[in-house]
Amino acid sequence: MAAIPPDDHKAYMRLALEQAHKSPPKPTNYRVGAVLVDSAANEILATGYTLELPGNTHAEQCCFLKLAEKHGVLEESLKSVLPSELALYTTVEPCSKRLSGNIPCVERVLRLAGSIRTVYVGIMEPETFVAENTGKTSLQDAGISIIHVAGLEKEILEVATAGHIKG
């Protein structure tokens, strides 16, 4: 993969969308892709997509779990081994509630507050599964910026909802 220029947010979002394409279509969740970037070094630390790892795993969760394994730490301790200027790119706003009982992605991001400075999103979470996602407010309250990367919404939504029953 060619290097992505620093601050080319659309290119990073396209990479996250490539990840989302790898997720199997299902009627019960969104196909989401995520990319975690060390902003200071302009280095991709991890990628992930929905259902990449065993269990009902979300894209952000897969990023963090893979990175924790790489560093030999539990996900809860990941902040201790990460740089202090991270950006998370995710095709769909991180979830604030998990119907499966898993920890919501917003809580996973909040564990890394102070390291993750910005979350870039392609679309805000549609209210299909969780009405009134409170993630954006929770992240902003913790000092994490949420920035919408415009221009890929139609494609992101098509990929995210593949496998959903239309009607």
- List, by residue number, the catalytic residues: 60
Question: What is the secondary structure of the chain as a DSSP string?
Answer: -PPPPTT-HHHHHHHHHHHHHTSPP-TTS---EEEEEETTTTEEEEEEETTSSTTT--HHHHHHHHHHHHHTS-GGGGGGGS-S-EEEEEEE---S--TTSSPPHHHHHHTTBTTEEEEEEEEPPPTTSSSS--HHHHHHHTT-EEEE-TT-HHHHHHHHTTTSPP-
The answer to whether the CB of 17 falls within 8 A of the CB of 155 is: yes
β-strand partners of 88 = 36, 119
